[in-house]
Chain A
Amino acid sequence: MLLQFHPWASAVEASFWQVLTQRKMDIFKLDDSQKSILGYYSTGQQVRIPGKDTSVALPARLCLGTGAFPDEHDKGHGPTNRNPAFTFPAPGIIKNTNTVEDFKALDKTALFKMTVDQIWADITSGAAVLDPSVLNRFLVVTFADLKKFKFFYWFAFPALQADPAWTMDDMREIGAVWSQSQINSLRENMDQYRQAFPSNQSGFFLVKQDGDSTSVARLQDWGEFYAGCEESEVIIGFADPSSLGSHPGWPLRNFLALIQQTWKVTTMRVLCFREVPGKQDINASKLFTAHVSSSAPLTVCPKAAGWEKNALGKLGPRLADLAPLMDPTRLADTAV
């Protein structure tokens, strides 16, 4: 069965536009060069339908919030670039144009290619082994109409396309494969892992099973961690934003490309780590086996996909209209 990935849905917090507006007016001014930003995501969530015994899957959201920009004049007012608890980081690039004409005329293909090249360079150089969060690298092009409080934006989440493509067997509940004590052991080890290492390690990791216990390690510890192990004992884990019972989320795509390129593994088990934040519950996690027919390392950057579709389901920008919330003249209308 062809391994298909559940794509991202962008989710910009309204307060991000506020921060962007301030940056634009106070710092960037007419400088429209690309800036680094930091997004975040949680693992996939399902919600129970009230009064029913079923739940539904929610979109895999990649979010931008108030902590998206690094603080350029931090005066010691606490940490900045801070993401909420139980989230995983995704570094990105924002290209904010000065005019709507610039926005339309942007060479989006070139920007996309640039981001893809960066991801590919990080994979081939091994930088992504040391900092796997760069596998989530994304691009957002924006135009902020500061007079009308309208924000046009378009995200791209580049994913390298594997050729030949990856295949998978049936995805199974973790509880159907592992015992509860194994699951508990994984949960405890994941908690420790996330405390022990910086957040850029948290989204991608290695898992090993030994009887009732499991262990978790960083990608850079692969050699030591899997020393003496068969290929069939390799379990790669990632924080999975997908909540679907049958498909993993987008971050796995570039992760598999990294694994294939670096360690030449063709068959491995994949742990889709999904937690209920704060509830010490990881039973929504899934396991499956991924397989690819060729392990020959690539010498050129593969093709990539990943522009987000808009509300109409077409490739095109989205619009956040904050006039009702930010425009002083409009605010008067809603005042009571």
Chain B
Amino acid sequence: MNSVQNIFFGIREYLSPVLKNSKFKETGCITPEEFEAAGDFLVYKCPTWSWEGGEPSKRRDYLHPDKQFLITRNVPCLRRVKQMEYTDEDAEMQIESDGADPWVMSHSSRVSGGPIEEIAGSMDEDEDEEAEAEAQAQAAIKAMERLDLKDLQSAADDDDDDEEIPDMDDIPDMDDFDDMEEEADPATLAPAVPTDVGSGQSDKILSVRTYDVFITYDKYYQTPRMWLFGYDEHRRPLVSSQIFEDVSQDYAKKTVTIETHPHLNMSLASIHPCRHGAVMKKIIEKVANDEGKDEPVRVDQYLIIFLKFMSSVVPTIDYDNTISA
């Protein structure tokens, strides 16, 4: 079933024309050239991102052979989305949408939460996509503002919910290594017990989840697309249900799906790009208005903005820490 779907996606991608003319301000979509320019700018601004060529057999010829996708590795993810609590400052916000009743966004000051869900739920699925994109953009902008303040309400104190100790079943037939003995080595620093996040001791190592984050170019939707590969505290790959714990509940399972990475022979969690164009258009308009009309948003800044938008989807994956823009 999945393979049928993949074949369908493959054909659809093959048949879609490569976007040639720039129209990122009108539609929020970008061309492969603009993707490359924006990627170069991102790598320049945030050198923890880098270009990769990926699988030679999966190379897309409308992209530079060595610049097929972007990756940043070992991004720490300190806590789960559910640990981000509601606070008293949660405010309600009204979103005007043309000709329709204003939407009330409760808890709009929260980074993540229900507003989009509520809005989406109260709308007919296929009706008024514009308003939904608007709402999503608003929520994303709001979230971005909060993120900029680095004011993620923290429930970090109880972050030591150590994953249950894996039992030996994890490694079947591997329990006969008792012969391996290493003499005590006083110069080896003994592993510290994982500490509470809150203790503020810099002399203990905190084992955290980490993510490899990828950005590919989606030819069909003509937008960037984000992919996530997660590892647990013991560096074991996360399964999809665990990854969903790090996705804002508005998006988990709805717009985050597990699909085959276009440049790797592997399936990864991906944030589905069906609304990226519309949301990006709104955000770009908002940013342009905020910064005054003199200096319009340049297309090479696209990915920086895109990453800010994505951080509202995966608020606890802190790839943003190197972004100064």
Q: Is the CB of A50 within 8 A of B176?
A: no
Docked-complex contact B264 and A15, CB < 8 angstroms: yes
Which residue of chain A has its CB nearest to the CB of B174? A317
Shortest CB distance B44–A (Å): 9
Cβ of B170 under 8 Å from chain A: yes
Knowing A12-B235, A161-B187, A277-B322 are in contact, say whether A315-B180 is a contact too (CB < 8 A): yes
**Roughly how many angstroms separate A128 CA and B25 CA in the complex, as a whole number?**
55
B residues in contact with A24, CB < 8 Å: none
The verdict on A320 contacting B236 (CB below 8 Å), with A2-B186, A47-B76, A336-B257 known, is: yes
Binary per-residue interface labels of chain B (255-286) against chain A in the complex, 1 for a CB within 8 Å, 0 otherwise: 00110100011111000000000000000000
In the assembled complex, A56 has its CB within 8 A of some CB on chain B:
yes
Bound complex: CA of A7 vs CA of B205, how far in Å? 11
**Cα-based distance from A54 to B206 in the complex (angstroms):** 13
Contacts of A15 in B (CB 8 A): 212, 264, 266
Which of A53, A319, A326 interacts with B265 by CB under 8 Å?
Answer: A326
Residue pair B240, A14 in contact (C-beta under 8 Å):
no
Q: Smallest Cβ distance from A68 to chain B, in angstroms?
A: 13
Tell me what chain B mostly uses at the interface: helix, strand, loop, or mixed: loop
Q: Are B50 and A84 in contact (CB under 8 A)?
A: yes
Give the residues in chain B near A14, CB-CB below 8 Å. 212, 229, 231, 237, 266
Given known A-B contacts A278-B322, A315-B182, A18 and B206 have beta carbons under 8 A apart: no
Residues of A within 8 Å of B191, CB to CB, are 7, 309, 313
Chain A: CB-nearest residue to B175: A316
Q: Give the residue of B52, B170, B202, B258 whose beta carbon is less than 8 angstroms from that of A319.
A: B170
A305 interface hit (Cβ, 8 Å): yes
B126 in the interface (beta carbon within 8 A): no
A23 to chain B, nearest CB (A): 13
Output the nearest chain B residue to A165 by Cβ-Cβ distance. Answer: B187
Q: How far is the CA of A317 from the CA of B56 in the complex (A)?
A: 32
Q: Can you list, as one digit per residue, whether each of A241-266 has a CB less than 8 Å from chain B (1) or not (0)?
A: 00111110000010000000000000
Query: Which residues of B have CB within 8 Å of A65?
Result: 73
User: Of residues 26 to 55 in A, which have CB atoms within 8 Å of B's CB atoms?
Assistant: 42, 45-55
Of the candidate stretches B28-36, B100-108, B145-153, the one touching chain A is B145-153
Which of B156, B234, B265 is in CB contact (< 8 Å) with A51?
B156
Interface string of A270-285 (1 = CB under 8 A from B): 0000001111000000
CB <8 Å contact, B154 and A51:
yes
The stretch that binds B, out of A116-124, A129-137, A200-208, A327-335, is A327-335
**Is there a chain A Cβ closer than 8 Å to B185's Cβ?**
yes
Residue A218 lies at the interface, judged by CB distance under 8 Å to chain B: no
Contacts of A336 in B (CB 8 A): 253, 257-258
CB distance from B106 to the nearest CB of A (A): 21
Task: Say yes or no for B65: interface residue by CB 8 A criterion.
Answer: yes
Whether B296 sits at the interface, judged by CB under 8 Å, is: no
Residues of B at under 8 Å CB distance from A? 1-3, 5, 46-48, 50, 52-53, 56, 65-66, 73-74, 76, 78-79, 150-154, 156, 165-166, 168, 170-171, 173-177, 180-183, 185-189, 191, 195, 197-208, 210, 212, 229, 231, 234-237, 239-240, 253, 257-258, 260, 264-268, 318, 321-322, 324
The 10 closest A-B pairs by CB, nearest first: A54-B200, A51-B154, A278-B47, A50-B152, A311-B234, A335-B2, A305-B185, A56-B206, A4-B189, A334-B258
Interface residues of A (CB under 8 A from B): 2-7, 9-15, 18, 42, 45-59, 61, 63, 65-66, 77-78, 84-86, 100, 104, 108, 152, 159, 161-162, 165-166, 243-247, 253, 276-279, 303, 305, 307, 309-322, 324-326, 328, 331-332, 334-336
**Given A85-B50, A244-B203, A332-B1, list of 6 further CB < 8 A pairs?**
A2-B186, A11-B210, A51-B153, A84-B48, A159-B187, A279-B322
